[in-house]
Structure formats: structure tokens, C-alpha cells
Amino acid sequence: PVLVVDFGAQYAQLIARRVREADCYSEIVPHTMPAEQMLARDPAAIILSGGPASVYAEGAPALETAVVTAGVPVLGICYGFQAMAQALGGTVERTGRREYGQSDATVAGPPSTLFADQPDQQVVWMSHGDAVTAAPQGCAVTARTSGAPVAAFEDDERRLYGVQWHPEVLHSTYGQQVLRNFLTRGAGITPSWTSGNVADQLVEQVREQIGSDRVICGLSGGVDSSVAAALVQRAVGDQLTCVFVDHGLLREGEAEQVETDFVAATGVDLVVVDARQRFLDALAGVTDPEAKRKVIGREFIRVFEQAARDVVRAHQGGAGDTDAPEGEHPVRWLVQGTLYPDVVESGGGTGAANIKSHHNVGGLPEDLQFSLVEPLRTLFKDEVRQVGLELGVPEGIVWRQPFPGPGLGIRIIGEVTADRLAILRRADAIAREELTAAGLDREIWQCPVVLLADVRSVGVQGDGRTYGHPVVLRPVSSEDAMTADWTRLPYDVLARISSRVTNEVEEINRVTLDVTSKPPGTIEWE
């Protein structure tokens, strides 16, 4: 792999993604990892990320000299560039000239490796107070900016490279080329991390991990669990059983998408549990948002638990004891759609520990111990989508926007009933249809439609007075759902949604728009 050493800023994940966009496999490691361990991974190259500290500040994240002298190609970025300069005997100083944001760099043409194919003036994105004032011996200075006399250096002999700016951010116009040049020309890596290869490799790994065991997967209809299931299906075929719980809080067409489209495309063995009535019963009279979430979560676990037990029983051949013939297994593995950012954020451990399943699915019984299969744990979301397409997962699932587990249940303000669900489902379908027709699906993060079920307002339709319910459109733009802004949807799209919803859904006589960012509002209303 290409190792990205994380010096504590948010940039490491971005760098790792950019490296993969250059078709090279990358992994993030903490700067606290001993050099010996990094080198033991036999990295094709090492990239030192930016970080918030000053290299000579007390307690600044240290860089072991061995990392840059082991003969592995290295690219230092920002803090990593300075740490590298210092480790190689260069000088880093506080120049008094801080550079934050856009800057103009003058770069060297050929024979520079990093800048070989680029104009000698380029816009770069900077964020530093310290600067390298003298390059290490043997390193040629290949760029400068007004605030950084040594803004880049390289030593082709030792394959050591560094830039003061952030090539991984899009504001650095030629940033991706700089990274690509480092990887292919500097480090001599042949780019081969393509979605086709990745899918093949992962399928192979899963096959090896599972062997002839049985495996179970909870499908939600979302991207991650669907792609994970498709991968495992490709690897071990009908050793996999998927369980899909229809809790009746899904949107129009969603259950069908999983039950027919997904099964047709992947051939998975699917158990559908129709729990619609059970959820309605459990939700009767519940109006408090937290209470609803608890009820839905609890019921979900109970239903899934029962389905999992049934699957286990079915594959124990009805023996009911532990005398199953050799070579025959009850269900040993549980598939989880864990992604790389979760792995990195939880410390990047090697995982696959034999855990008690209730820690993961949120409440499977103690006696059902599973080992986890997490085929997506090395992938970023965009890669999961590419792999999904590669495996033939339907586009409607691959490009699905986030949808909360509790579903429409937390988009009905008031008690959840079958009638109200039907009303909201219709209005939601119309809004989604119009947003899709307007080509806005990838632009917006999601657009909840919320039914104010306990509110009524007076309207007029035809010659008559109406006394119906309002719905709220909540279109948001976001990077990660932690913060969000309301999306400025074109008026004509809003007009079409409003007119169609009020015409086609009898009970709704008013459409309103939520223009609150997050914070202070959350994305969902409950």
C-alpha cells in the first residue's frame, strides 16, 4: 500500500482518497506508529500529511528519521514537509509571514518530477505559519511562494519529495497531478486500484475468509449493506442468507426494490419479514420522538433476532443439538457494511474480532455468537458505489440518498398510523420524482418530506373549502450530515412539487419549505 501518515489534521483521509483516485491503494496510519511497523508493511510509498502543530513546538508529533531514510519513496505535505525537512537536516523557521488560503506558486519545469507536466505558475492552497528556509542537502528547491522561499523540494536519487501546500484540496489547481506524478514517476507505482480489480480482490478475500461456512446479512436497502451483501453473494453464493425487515416505514417502491430488483440483479437468497402490522401496533399512541425511535429500534431488533434464529435453525438441518455432521455449520458469520472512515475513526484496528453480535446489530441474543465479515472496511463511500456498480447492484440502490433507519416514522409529526404513512409515502414519492426529473439527486444530500399530521389549515380547492394537512420540504446540502445548509432549489421545481402534491394527495392542502440550516435545526424533524 501507499501509507498515509496522519499527523493529526483532517487531511489524511482526503489524501488517502486522492491517492485512490489516482488508482493506487492507500492506507492511513497514525503518526504514533513506530517506523519499524510502517516499514514492515512494505509500503510502495509513504505520504506524510499536514497537521496542526509547529514542528519545533513542545510535544509536536515526531517523525522518526528512519521513515525518510529507509529507501521508500516519501512525499511530505505541509507539516509533513516541514517534519521531513527537519529530519533530513534542513531548516524550519517561523518567518512571520503566515499564508492561509490561496497563494501563487512558481514551480520548476522538467526535470522536476512533481511538476513535470504543469505550467510554471499555479494556484495552490496553503495553511502554514512556519516555513522551510533551507532545503536538506541533496534536495533541489522546485517551488516558491511569497511566504515560503522553499515551497517544494525533491531528490530523485533518494526519491524524496515535499510540498508546503496541500495538493489534496481541489483549490490547488494541479494538486492531483502533483500526487499522480509522485506516485507514478517518483515512486514508480503502476496504478491498478480500479473498481473492477478491487471487486475481484474483495470477492477473493471474502471467499477465503468464509470458506464453506454459512453467513447471514441484514439488508436495509441502503448502499452499504446492499453492496456488502452483493460482494459476499458473489464470493460464496447460496451460503449467504439475507434478511430484510419490512417495518412498513419505508418509502414507495423501496421494499420492491430490494425484494425484486436486488434479488434479480444479484441472485441472493432473501428472507423478507413482513413486520408492518407489528410496528404499527407498537407505535400506536406514541408521539414523542425519542419514544418512537426507541420503539422502532426495539422492535427491529426483536424481528431481526427471530429471523436470524430461524435461519440458524433451518441450516442446522433441524437437528436441534450440536451433533451436526462434520463439515456442516450453523450460521457462523454476520456481514456488516462497515466503511473505511469508521475503521480509521475507531483507531484503525485490524478488526474481525469474534464479538458478541448484540454490540453490532444492537441486540442479538447472547447465544447467537457471530464473527464479522466486513468486506467494505477498506473502502470509502464513493468506492463502495463503484464496486456496487461493478457487481451489478441496481443504480437506484447504488445512488440512494441517506434514509434514516426509523424511516417515515420520524417524518410524521404526531402518531404514526397506516393512513398517515400512506399520505406521506405518496407526497414523498412525488417530491422524489420531481427532484430526480430535475437532475438534482446528486446535488442535494437528501430531501425529507415531513407530514405535520396534527396540524390542519384551511384551503380552497375547486369550489370547496378544505381542511387538510401541511407537508414540509426539507432539502439539504451537506458533506457529512454533521452540518448542513438548506438547498436553494429552483422555484420552478418547488412549484411543480407543490402543485402535484396538493393535487394528487387529497389530504394535503399546503406545501411549505424549511429554510433552516444545521445547526440550529437537525436534518430530520424528529
Please, which residue, 156 or 485, has the CB nearer to ligand XMP? 485
- Is 226 annotated to bind ligand? yes
Residue 46 touches ligand XMP, criterion: CB under 6 A: no
Q: Which stretch binds ligand XMP (CB under 6 A): 86-94, 120-128, 403-411, 458-466?
A: 403-411
Catalytic residue (one of 21, 24, 31, 78) = 78
We find the least distance from the C-beta atom of residue 93 to ligand XMP, in angstroms, to be 44
With left for phi above 0 and alpha for psi between -120 and 50, is residue 171 left, alpha or beta? alpha
β-strands 2-6, 45-48: how paired? parallel
Please, which residue, 218 or 406, has the CB nearer to ligand XMP? 406
Q: Which stretch binds ligand XMP (CB under 6 A): 80-88, 282-290, 347-355, 404-412?
A: 404-412
Please, which residue, 214 or 411, has the CB nearer to ligand XMP? 411
Using CB atoms within 10 Å of the CB of residue 121, give its burial: 0 to 12 exposed, 13 to 18 middle, 19+ buried. exposed
- Is 220 annotated to bind ligand? yes
Q: Which stretch binds ligand XMP (CB under 6 A): 204-212, 250-258, 349-357, 399-407?
A: 399-407
- Is 101 annotated to bind ligand? no
Residues 501-520 that bind ligand XMP (CB under 6 A): 518
Element housing 29 (H / E): strand 26-30
Please, which residue, 30 or 404, has the CB nearer to ligand XMP? 404
Q: Is residue 117 within 8 Å of residue 76, measured between CB atoms?
A: no
166 is catalytic: yes
Catalytic residue (one of 21, 99, 168, 390) = 168
Please, which residue, 460 or 482, has the CB nearer to ligand XMP? 482
We find the least distance from the C-beta atom of residue 296 to ligand XMP, in angstroms, to be 8
We find the least distance from the C-beta atom of residue 421 to ligand XMP, in angstroms, to be 17
Please, which residue, 202 or 275, has the CB nearer to ligand XMP? 275
Spatial separation of the C-alpha atoms in residues 26 and 4, rounded to whole Å? 7
Candidates 204, 402, 495, 506: give the one binding ligand XMP (CB under 6 A): 402
- Chain Cα centroid distance, residue 190: 26
Please, which residue, 187 or 476, has the CB nearer to ligand XMP? 476
We find the least distance from the C-beta atom of residue 222 to ligand XMP, in angstroms, to be 8
Rg for the chain (alpha carbons), in Å?
A: 27
157 Cβ contact list (under 8 Å, min separation 6)? 138
Q: Which stretch binds ligand XMP (CB under 6 A): 25-33, 270-278, 400-408, 486-494?
A: 400-408
- Is 223 annotated to bind ligand? yes
Q: Applying CB under 6 A, what is the total number of residues that bind ligand XMP? A: 10
Please, which residue, 139 or 334, has the CB nearer to ligand XMP? 334
Candidates 164, 173, 446, 509: give the one binding ligand XMP (CB under 6 A): 446
Beta bridge partners of 486: 476
The set of long-range contacts for 199-204, using a CB threshold of 8 Å and a minimum separation of 24, is 199/231, 199/234, 199/387, 199/390, 199/391, 202/231, 202/375, 202/376, 202/387, 203/231, 203/234, 203/235, 204/235
- Is 195 annotated to bind ligand? no
Binding mask 461-500 for ligand XMP (x = CB under 6 A): --------------------x-------------------
* Nearest to 250, CA basis, from 133, 406, 103: 406
- Is 224 annotated to bind ligand? yes
HSE, CB side, 13 Å, CA atoms: give it for residue 142.
26
We find the least distance from the C-beta atom of residue 66 to ligand XMP, in angstroms, to be 43
Bond prior to 52 in cis (omega within 30° of 0): no
Residue 416 touches ligand XMP, criterion: CB under 6 A: no
Residue 522 touches ligand XMP, criterion: CB under 6 A: yes
Residues 240-269 that bind ligand XMP (CB under 6 A): none
The set of long-range contacts for 152-158, using a CB threshold of 8 Å and a minimum separation of 24, is 152/81, 152/105, 152/107, 152/114, 152/115, 153/85, 153/90, 154/112, 154/113, 154/114, 154/186, 156/111, 156/113, 156/186, 158/71
Residue 362 touches ligand XMP, criterion: CB under 6 A: no
Candidates 348, 351, 404, 414: give the one binding ligand XMP (CB under 6 A): 404
We find the least distance from the C-beta atom of residue 272 to ligand XMP, in angstroms, to be 20
Using CB atoms within 10 Å of the CB of residue 351, give its burial: 0 to 12 exposed, 13 to 18 middle, 19+ buried. middle
Residue 86 touches ligand XMP, criterion: CB under 6 A: no
Residue 524 touches ligand XMP, criterion: CB under 6 A: yes
Spatial separation of the C-alpha atoms in residues 183 and 143, rounded to whole Å? 19
Phi/psi at 292 (nearest 5 deg)? -60, -50
Candidates 52, 191, 405, 414: give the one binding ligand XMP (CB under 6 A): 405
Catalytic residue (one of 128, 139, 154, 166) = 166
Residues 273-332 that bind ligand XMP (CB under 6 A): none
Amino acid symbol at 270: L
The set of long-range contacts for 174-178, using a CB threshold of 8 Å and a minimum separation of 24, is 174/115, 174/118, 174/119, 174/122, 175/18, 175/124, 175/125, 176/18, 176/21, 176/22, 177/117, 177/118, 178/114, 178/115, 178/118
Residue 523 touches ligand XMP, criterion: CB under 6 A: yes
220 Cβ contact list (under 8 Å, min separation 6)? 226, 244, 405
437 Cβ contact list (under 8 Å, min separation 6)? none
Please, which residue, 411 or 469, has the CB nearer to ligand XMP? 411
Binding site for ligand XMP (CB under 6 A): 402, 404-406, 446, 481, 518, 522-524
> Which residues are catalytic, by number?
78, 166, 168
- State the binding site: 220-226
Annotated binding site for ATP: 220-226
